[in-house]
Structure 1
Amino acid sequence: MKLLFNLIGTILKLGIYACIYATPVLGVWLASSLAAFSNRSTLLSVIAGVFLFPVLPLLWELWSSYKRRKLGKLGEETLTWGDRLTLRTLLINLIAIIGLLAWQPSNSFIALSTRGDWMLEGMQGEAAEVTRQSLFKIAGGLEGLYNAFNKNPFEQYDDGSSKIRPDPQPERIARNPFEELPKPTNSSSTTKPQPSAKPQANTAKPKPTTEKPKPAESKPIKNAWAWEGQGLHPAIANMPANVETSIESVAKYIVSKESNPVLRVKALHDYVADRIAYDAESYFAGAYPPQDAETVFRTRKAVCAGYAKLLEALGKEAEIEIVYVSGKSRSQVSELSGRGHAWNGVKVNGQWHLIDPTWDSGYVNDPQSGFVKRYSTEYLMPPPEVIGISHFPKDPAWQLRSNPIDQGEFLRQPMMRPKFFADGLSLISPQRSQVDTSNNAVINLANPQKQWILASYSPKGSNSSQNCGQPVQDSQISCPLPSSGSYEVSLFTSSEGQGNFDYVGRLEFNKT
């Protein structure tokens, strides 16, 4: 029995020692991931880790032994030399890790979730993939810290409608939206980046067309996320002014003019996207006026919460089940962490879909230029895996997926817009929102519809951009980056090869 207890004690002690000596490894992993995420040298993080163990604990022990010798207390230690070194290692590295987390509470989770496998870049195979997924699972332990420092101010407007438990859509497409998306026969509307809780910058070059949307005929929709030729619904384009006296009056008018359930939802979406202007001034001031449906209907201004609340209210009056959904959104890779946002879920023909009327209303460049109206249908009921690239609901059920992704996987997804997929494109590589390169930025695509693709690059955080070359119909885009640094490479498409190109996505490359 004594032998058994000794064995158990030895195993426990070895386990404790292993956990303690893992802290330097965790510290180096966190520091190096932050460095990789910021395009800085990971080698310096490794050198710092060697200093934290064993150099600093050994120096501490030598200094302590010297002090005890001077006081004549050498040999009176209660703990062994190994125990003292172990405890010093634990204390030093815990302080270092806590310091890093306190310094970068949000970026720590983002860096570990997106670049935590930097040391495995380019490596394939089962062992590499198991290691990669294990690292990401550990990174998920910091999600609570990230959420604590990234509160969503628009959750307060949820009156409980999102507590409805939607059934996920059938798995029509692969869980990874960049592998086997359905190839639509139609093209989506031509739009620029749309406003989120933080409206995204209008950085597309060349500039898209500025033609006003044309009313569309009321006809069945075969592909509800492409909407080819489906401009502003005629009921909205031709609505008499005396109808717009109340939310109820507008909803009843739409019901009377449109019998198709899908197009009825589109008409409700179109009303909100067309009639409401984004309140850029309030957003940038960080102080929002009331966002209830009645106030938004009366003032014709709102941030994302007001758009979603008005659409929810219109749905109620039209007897269509529309709910308010809140969570995070990210409009471009420079906002990888995401922002608080609100959008809608709608039930049509027994099936739930997602709608973002805010992003379909226009865009905002900056506080000076304000809101630029540009109607779109890009975020009107796209497949869950497509809208899930930019929208991450607080409640995983509102991903509408049979297998919801976690927040880390959400952040790792390349920032492709719905139009990218509506144009029949698939992203083969890279499969991450941020990657390293030692030469050109190379993007591999599947382009079965032979879309013309134009790419441009800009230093991260810069408003100036340069074209990577002439438009091509190739499956590979190679963009020469001028020097070391972080760059955002944007993609634009056109069916003509000249004139207006539409922004469809962006990736970040760190050139070393």
Structure 2
Amino acid sequence: MKNISKLFYIVLLLVTGIVNAQDFAKVDNTVKAYPKAFSDTNKFANQVKADFKTDADKARAIFTWIALNVRYDLAAYGVNQRPVAYSFTTQEEKLAQQKKFREELATKTLKSKKGVCEGYATLFAVVADKVGLEAVVVPGTSKSHPMHIGKAPGANDHAWNAVKVDGEWKLLDATWAAGVVTGDKPAFAFKFNDGYFFAEPDVFFLNHFPDDKKWLLTTKTEADFANLPLYYGNYLMEGYNFISPGFGTFTNKAGAVVPFKIKNLKAGDTVHYAFSKTRKIEEVTYTKNGDVAEFEVPLNANSVGTLTIYINQKSVAGYKVNR
């Protein structure tokens, strides 16, 4: 119970997902033996090209090294920066200026071994290009905090990558793979998690909505994104499937209950819930119907704010409860 209470004080900046470790264990082990620093992006790219031949392995190697070695720069997070201005007279000059900016940002991130999402994504794209992969930086809106529940995308607060592998576009987020930010006085801690490497588009969508909808790679909409609950990393990592409720916001009505149906709970799993107003942890008794667990969360006058569902003392989903 004490461990659950502490979760209320954790600031979740980075969200984890479904693990692909068994598919890329050999690549990851090779990359873990790489130098902890490279002096320039060409040397990084040459190392990857020397060790790996397939598109997927090259992409994985770049992703893994960045996530293991680049620290999230909390001091730079949220700092307003002036837009980059280019001076050009032709389209060729414009493209050259943009390429120069990307190379400079990638090199800065590589040498300092710290950055925010744009630095992570730009470093991946620049090195990917140098190993023969087509990759782009995808700006968009993230869903990583209870305050995002019910809000339509448009914040433009995050950036990630799409990379073409064997003719098919794949999605990845090296920033969220690098670690977590926790504590009353936020501090970054490395915690490699490959859940957002080649995640299925419908899974990636749970926390990412691109400015250019072609990078959704799914038919989901802005309304779908706004209506989603907040899914934490443990939800994705453990393969849970919340059948209901499928929306993230509901209104408190005294005496009402919120019915939940969850697939893929394992024998012995425990389920708790808490509302942010009271921070009181309550255990539920669920019934199983095949592979679906069912339970209800009762509402009362104090059932407002964020409703968090925990499985095995780990947060898995969040909902907004209005008066």
TM-score in terms of structure 2 length:
0.75
Give the secondary-structure state (helix, strand or coil) at the position aligned to 2:176: coil
Taking only the aligned residue pairs, the percentage that are identical comes to 21
- Counterpart-to-counterpart distance in 2, 1:351 and 1:273: 23
Q: How does 1:385-400 map to 2 (within 5 A)?
A: 385-400=202-217
Whether 1:311 aligns to 2:119 is no
Partner of 1:226: 19
Q: Which residue of 2 aligns with 1:267?
A: 61
AA at the equivalent of 1:343: W
Q: 1:415 aligns with which of 230, 237, 247?
A: 230
Query: In the alignment, which residue of structure 2 is the partner of 1:333?
Result: 146
CA distance, structure 1, for counterparts of residue 173 and residue 307 of structure 2: 25
Give the match's secondary structure for 1:250: helix
Distance 1:305 1:258, change over 3 A: same
Aligned to 1:201: 11
Please say if 1:247 is aligned against 2:41: yes
How far is the alpha carbon of 1:261 from its aligned partner?
A: 3.2
Q: How far has the Cα of 1:313 moved from its partner? A: 0.9
The alignment partner of 1:297 has SS state of helix
**Aligned position for 2:52:** 258
Output the CA distance in 2 between the equivalents of 1:324 and 1:435. Answer: 35
- With over 3 angstroms needed to count, the CA separation of the structure-2 counterparts of 1:458 and 1:373, relative to structure 1, is farther
List alignment gaps of at least 5 residues for structure 1: 1-192, 194-199, 204-223, 495-500
1:311-364 CA-to-partner distances (Å, cap 9, x unmatched) read 101101111111100111111332233642110001112111111111111222
* Equivalent-residue separation in structure 1 for 2:276 and 2:41 (angstroms): 46
Q: Deviations over 1:142-191 (max 9, x none)?
A: xxxxxxxxxxxxxxxxxxxxxxxxxxxxxxxxxxxxxxxxxxxxxxxxxx
Partner secondary structure for residue 378 of structure 1? helix
Q: How does 1:176-195 map to 2 (within 5 A)?
A: none
Give the CA deviation at 1:434: 0.7
- String of CA shifts for 1:266-310, please: whole Å, max 9, x gaps: 221111111111111121444589981111111111111111000
SS of corresponding position for 1:360: helix
Residue 106 of structure 2 is aligned to residue 293 of structure 1: yes
Provide the C-alpha distance between the structure 2 equivalents of 1:457 and 1:304, rounded to a whole number of angstroms: 31
CA distance in 2, matches of 1:377, 1:459: 30
Q: Contact (CA 8 Å) 2:305, 2:321: kept in 1 or not?
A: yes
1:103-118 aligned at under 5 Å gives the runs: none
User: Aligned-pair RMSD on alpha carbons?
Assistant: 3.4
Distance change >3 Å, CA 375–CA 451, structure 1 → 2: farther
Structure with bigger helix share is 1
Q: Distance in 2 between matches of 1:306 and 1:263?
A: 22
Offset from partner CA, 1:436-485 (integer Å, 9 cap, x none): 2433443221226558253332326xxx8333216868512434456345
Shift in CA distance, 471/271, structure 1 to aligned 2, threshold 3 Å? farther
Rate the CA distance shift 1:321–1:476 in 2: closer, same or farther, 3 A. Answer: same
Please name the residue that 1:508 is paired with: 320
What SS does the aligned partner of 1:283 have?
coil
Distance 1:465 1:202 in 2: 17
Residue 483 of structure 1 is matched in structure 2 by 301
Find the aligned partners of 1:473 and 1:447 in 2 and give their Cα distance. Answer: 13
Counterpart of 2:280, as a letter, is Q
Distance 2:178 2:287 in 1: 30
**Residue 38 of structure 2 contacts residue 110 of structure 2 at CA under 8 Å; is this kept in 1?**
no
Partner of 1:323: 136
The aligned length equals 283
- Deviation track 1:12-50 (CA, whole Å, cap 9, x = no partner) reads xxxxxxxxxxxxxxxxxxxxxxxxxxxxxxxxxxxxxxx
Q: Render the CA deviation track for 1:54-108: whole Å, top value 9, x for unaligned.
A: xxxxxxxxxxxxxxxxxxxxxxxxxxxxxxxxxxxxxxxxxxxxxxxxxxxxxxx
For 2:223 and 2:259, locate their aligned partners in 1 and report how far apart those are by CA, in whole Å.
Answer: 24
**TM-score normalised by structure 1 residue count:** 0.49
**Which of 369, 372, 380 is the equivalent residue of 2:197?**
380
Q: Residue 142 of structure 1 corresponds to which residue in structure 2?
A: none
The alignment partner of 2:174 has SS state of coil
Distance 2:35 2:262 in 1: 47
Is the strand fraction higher in 1 or 2?
2
CA contact (8 A) 2:38 2:111 kept: no
Distance 1:408 1:294, change over 3 A: same
